[in-house]
Structure formats: C-alpha cells, structure tokens
C-alpha cells in the first residue's frame, strides 16, 4: 500500500491535510518537519506534503526540513509555508507580501499545472499568509495568481514538485479536495488503497501475530473508541480478551443494559460488569470542585479496574482505544523548533501499574475512520454515531454535590432531552449534525407552583451544540416547539424539577460542559 508522508511545520490545519488525504483513500502519516532523512526514507513515501506553519523563512531558526529531501526524487507538494521553504531553499525568493492576506481570496488559474485539470479558471480559496514567493526555483513555473499574490500555485513537472500559497485542506477552499486528488492520483500516480474493510482484516492478522496465545484485558466504556477497539480485538483473540465495564453510577439512562445486550448477549464477548457505584458515590460525597471530582473518579476507576483484573486469568496485554490525534507528535515553533509530544493514556497510569503491554489497534485512525470501521465490523449506529460523553460522566453535569438521587433525577431529564432532540432530527425539524445534546442539573432551587401547592425544586438546563472537533462550539437554535416539548415533559415527568432553561452560550468563551 502506497503511503504519503506529511511534514508538519506547525500549522493549525496539518491534521486536516491528513484527513483529506485519507478521505481520498490514501494512507498517510504526520511527522515533525525536522524528521531526519533516514527516517523519511525508511517510511518509503510515495509522496511528501509540506504543511503550512506560523513562521517566516526570514526568521532566525525558522524550521527547515532535512536538506536531503530536495534530492530524494519523491513528488512534493508544499502548502503555504511549505511552498515558501521549498522556494527559499532551492534558489527562489520569498518576500513579505504587500498586504497580509487572510481569509477568502480568488485565484486565477493560468495553467492546469498538475492540480487544476477540470476546474474553472477562477477559484475561491482560503489564504493565510504574510510572506509570499517572489521568485521560484529554476524549473518551477507559476500556474495560478491572485490580485495580490503572483505565485498562488506553482509546478515543476520534471521533478514533480508542486506548491500552493493557499490551503487546499480547509473547507473554505471548495475545490481543495479535488486538487489534492489530482496531486495524488495524476501527478503521483497513486490509486485509492486505504479501505476500512482491508484495514480490519490486516489489523486482525497483526494482532494475532503480536499476541499469539496471550490474554488481554480492556476497559470498555461503551463509547465509540473503546467499543470499536474491543470488537476488533475480540475478532483477533476471541475468549482470550476480557473486557471490564466499571459501572460508576454516573452513566446515562439505559446505558448499562444496552451494553450488556450488545456485547454479552449479541456479540457473546466476555464482559465483566462490575457495579462500583457505591464507591464512586462515597468518594464524591461533599465534593463540589469539578477538578476534584475528575481526580477522585480517575483514582477509583483505576483502583476498581485493578481489583477486578486481579481475579482474571493472567494477562500480558491491556487494550486501549487510543486514536491517531492522541499520538501525533505535534510541533510548535516559538522562536525555534520544540517538539511537544502528547502522551495519552485513556486509562491513565494503568499499564505501568499493572505491568501490561499496550495494544492500541486504533492508533492510526481518525475519529471518522473509527466510525467507518465500527460500521464495517457490524456495530449498530447507536454505538457508532454516539455523541461524545465525558469520562467523568454525569458527575460533571450534576453541578455541586453528586448524590445518587440527583444523578437519578438528571438521568431522567437527560433521557427526555435525548429522545426529543433525536426525534426532531429524524423529522427534519432540527438540522444536524449536532455534536452534543444533553441535560445539566444546576445547583439552583427556585419557587414554582404545581396545582395549588408551592414548590421549591431543582432546575434543569438543556444544552445542545454544533461543533466539528469540540474545540469550538455554537449553541443550536432549537425550534420553540422542540424546546417547549422538552420543558413540558421534564417538568411533568421528572419529580423534583419545576424549571427548565436553555443554554445560549457558545465556546469560547463558555465550554460545552458546565464543569
């Protein structure tokens, strides 16, 4: 299978380049721009993409790739800073632009130049740069320009070097994906070869080779990542895989039952469901600080998991649903290159404590690929399309002190929110895709009147947001009829609640969760 390498010069959108390439069914990986040539060669890339980045080639210490890259003979595509560094290092010239260009721009295509075949001669693109290329290296010619940027795109058909000043990877460049397709399929001669069906088969074979007859244990939360990872490991290991579900009492309505039905009854997997809700509730008694809640929950989870695992047959491996964005070595430049390596453990601390080796079958995948893989493995939409749910569960949605009674109350209100919004989505009353929709129990009581009696009861807040990655989010303008149904049902059906409010704050400056 042909593989593409992406050299990361620190752009915010480097991951998007990888997403687009993979959507075109070509496998790719991101590495820091300073990766030595020997490592690049060992990867055996069919093409290399140089990402954008925040630096200027004129700054001292601005990031440069290994010089050997220029004589490697592999097709190159430089994006923004990637094009500038390619030009500067090979006899071209980069100069500060007359005006910083940021946002939508229109380019005029002068030649097909490897990227533009079949596209109109005027294209909307997304620009984000201060510097621009004033002179190209020998052999490279400009293939597109804009009113302020003479080299919006460039091509050297002998060396198969291409460059663009704009960002083809973002949605604001509507034809960007088509340009990347022309680069991969026409210029580099690649074919789509990265398919989820073959990924599953290859992965199962690889897991079998890796673990042999050994056993593995894995924490199953019911979320998309751990569910897909568990099913993949189960395909490879059968009953040599034991999953542990720790019931914290902080889950949503019906979750434990649905998990039992799917994994135990339908898929016949070895899942030990362990009710530890008393311990979680005891540890949360009197705790109101959100970070304290998170810490205590994390510790108990590890303790309970270890205790359960002690009674299992001896294991050598721990399965985890780690994804690609968690393992990319992202590069940031603050004057000079500093590699910031994100280390990530879904179940922090466990592998070291338990002397287990890690099995992470999803570590090459993005979230949308995990969803496709889950579908490929036959998991139902209810699991694969599940909305994100925070690890600490309802504890960070019950504001103030967490008690079993308040969790029960929130569970009922949350179920109403979920059912009503999902029904509205199905009827087309609400336009998806939504990121999260849930209820929060506020630490506020207020006066109400029910029948002839005065009440002094709890307040439920409804939260519904759109987002692409959880980093920013917009509150959704739910139709009044939907809000009205939710409010009526919660107040009528959930005893102890006499007021429902809707959260109309976006992130930033708010966050999605309230704690």
- Catalytic residues, by residue number, are 80, 167, 169
> Cβ closer to ligand XMP: 111 or 294?
294
Contact pick of 61, 91, 470, 479 for ligand XMP (by CB under 6 A) = 470
* Cα-based torsion angle of the residue sequence 467, 473, 477, 482 in order, rounded to the nearest 10 degrees: 70
> Cβ closer to ligand XMP: 335 or 433?
433
CB 255 to ligand XMP: min, Å: 15
Instruction: Give the number of other CB atoms < 10 A from CB of residue 471.
Output: 9
> Cβ closer to ligand XMP: 131 or 515?
515
Number of residues located near ligand XMP, criterion CB under 6 A: 11
How far apart, in whole angstroms, are the C-alpha atoms of residue 150 and residue 128? 15
In sequence order, the 6+-apart residues with CB closer than 8 A to the CB of 96 are 56, 58, 130, 131, 132
Nearest-5° Cα angle at 371, 31 to 472: 65
Is residue 351 near ligand XMP by the rule CB under 6 A? no
DSSP string of 275-319, one letter each residue? E-HHHHHHHHTT---HHHHHHHHHHHHHHHHHHHHHTSSP-SEEE
Is residue 321 near ligand XMP by the rule CB under 6 A? no
Q: Which stretch binds ligand XMP (CB under 6 A): 147-155, 252-260, 378-386, 504-512?
A: 504-512
> Cβ closer to ligand XMP: 163 or 392?
392
Contact pick of 145, 235, 294, 404 for ligand XMP (by CB under 6 A) = 294
CB 446 to ligand XMP: min, Å: 25
CB 438 to ligand XMP: min, Å: 8
For residue 218 the two structure tokens come to 């894995």
How far apart, in whole angstroms, are the C-alpha atoms of residue 404 and residue 275? 14
For residue 250 the two structure tokens come to 């902080």
Q: Is the peptide bond before 266 cis (omega within 30 degrees of 0)?
A: no
Site string for ligand XMP, 386-415 (x = CB under 6 A): --x-xxx-----------------------
> Cβ closer to ligand XMP: 161 or 389?
389
For residue 114 the two structure tokens come to 């490897």
Q: Which stretch binds ligand XMP (CB under 6 A): 42-50, 121-129, 170-178, 506-514?
A: 506-514
Of residues 418 through 437, those in contact with ligand XMP by CB under 6 A are 436
Q: For tokens 């504001």, name the residue.
A: 399
CB 401 to ligand XMP: min, Å: 18
Angle between helices 277-284 and 290-310 (to 10 degrees): 150
CB 248 to ligand XMP: min, Å: 13
Output the CA–CA distances (angstroms, integers) from residue 406 to 254, 281, 410, 491, in the order listed: 17, 11, 6, 15
Decide if 414 contacts 387 (C-beta within 8 A).
Answer: no
Is residue 513 near ligand XMP by the rule CB under 6 A? yes
Is residue 97 near ligand XMP by the rule CB under 6 A? no
CB 243 to ligand XMP: min, Å: 18
Q: Which stretch binds ligand XMP (CB under 6 A): 31-39, 172-180, 373-381, 507-515?
A: 507-515
> Cβ closer to ligand XMP: 48 or 230?
230
In sequence order, the 6+-apart residues with CB closer than 8 A to the CB of 170 are 13, 16, 126, 176
CB 59 to ligand XMP: min, Å: 33
* Greatest distance between any 2 Cα atoms in the chain: 87
How far apart, in whole angstroms, are the C-alpha atoms of residue 122 and residue 18? 26
> Cβ closer to ligand XMP: 3 or 507?
507
Output the CA–CA distances (angstroms, integers) from residue 192 to 18, 148, 238, 269, 372, in the order listed: 14, 36, 31, 34, 16
For residue 192 the two structure tokens come to 């789509």
Is residue 511 near ligand XMP by the rule CB under 6 A? yes
> Cβ closer to ligand XMP: 95 or 511?
511
Q: Which stretch binds ligand XMP (CB under 6 A): 145-153, 277-285, 385-393, 413-421?
A: 385-393
CB 352 to ligand XMP: min, Å: 20
- CA–centroid distance for 404 within its chain: 32
**Residues at the site binding ligand XMP, with contacts judged by CB under 6 A:** 294, 388, 390-392, 436, 470, 507, 511-513
């Amino acid at each position: 299978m042909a593989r593409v390498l992406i050299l990361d010069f620190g752009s915010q959108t480097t991951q998007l380049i990888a997403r687009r390439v993979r959507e075109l069914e070509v496998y790719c990986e991101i590495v820091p721009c300073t990766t030595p040539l020997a490592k690049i060669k060992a990867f055996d890339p069919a093409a290399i993409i140089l990402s954008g980045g925040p630096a200027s080639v004129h700054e001292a210490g601005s990031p440069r790739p290994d010089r050997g890259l220029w004589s490697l003979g592999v097709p190159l595509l430089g994006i923004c800073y990637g094009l500038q560094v390619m030009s500067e290092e090979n006899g071209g010239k980069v100069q500060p632009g007359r005006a910083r260009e940021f946002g939508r721009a229109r380019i005029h295509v002068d030649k097909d130049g490897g990227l533009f075949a079949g596209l109109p001669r005027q294209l909307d693109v997304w620009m984000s740069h201060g510097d621009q290329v004033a002179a190209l290296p020998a052999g490279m010619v400009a293939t597109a320009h804009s009113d302020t940027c003479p080299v919006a795109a460039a091509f050297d058909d002998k060396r198969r070097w291409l460059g663009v000043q704009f960002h083809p990877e973002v949605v604001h460049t509507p034809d960007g994906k088509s340009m990347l397709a022309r680069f991969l399929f026409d210029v580099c001669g690649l074919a789509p070869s990265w398919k989820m069906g073959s990924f599953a088969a290859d992965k199962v074979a690889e897991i079998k080779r890796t673990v042999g007859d050994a056993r593995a244990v894995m924490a199953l939360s019911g979320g998309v990542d751990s569910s897909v990872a568990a099913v993949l490991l189960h395909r490879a290991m059968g009953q040599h895989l034991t999953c542990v579900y720790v019931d914290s009492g902080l889950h949503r309505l019906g979750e434990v039952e649905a998990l039992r039905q799917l994994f135990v009854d339908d898929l016949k997997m070895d899942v030990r469901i362990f009710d530890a809700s008393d311990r979680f509730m005891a540890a949360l008694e009197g705790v109101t600080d959100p970070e304290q809640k998170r810490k205590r929950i994390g510790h108990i989870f590890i303790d309970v998991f270890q205790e359960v695992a002690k009674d299992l047959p001896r294991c050598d491996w721990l399965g985890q649903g780690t994804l690609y964005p968690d393992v990319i070595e992202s590069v940031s430049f603050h004057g000079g290159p500093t590699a910031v390596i994100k280390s990530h453990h879904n179940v922090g601390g466990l592998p070291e404590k338990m002397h287990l080796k890690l099995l992470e079958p999803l570590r090459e995948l993005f979230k949308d690929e995990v969803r496709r893989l889950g579908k490929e493995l036959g998991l139902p939409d209810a699991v694969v399309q599940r909305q994100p749910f925070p690890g600490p569960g309802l504890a960070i949605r019950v504001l103030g002190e967490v008690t079993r009674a308040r969790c029960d109350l929130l569970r009922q209100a949350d179920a109403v929110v979920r059912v009503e919004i999902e029904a509205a989505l199905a009827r087309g009353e609400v336009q998806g895709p939504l990121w999260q929709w849930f209820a929060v129990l506020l630490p506020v009581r207020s006066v109400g009147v029910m029948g002839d009696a005065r009440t002094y009861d709890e307040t439920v807040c409804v939260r519904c947001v759109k987002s692409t990655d959880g980093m920013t989010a917009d509150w959704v303008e739910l139709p009044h009829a939907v809000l009205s149904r939710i409010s009526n049902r919660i107040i009528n059906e959930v005893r102890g609640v006499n007021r429902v409010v809707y959260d109309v704050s976006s992130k930033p400056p708010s966050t999605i969760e309230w704690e």
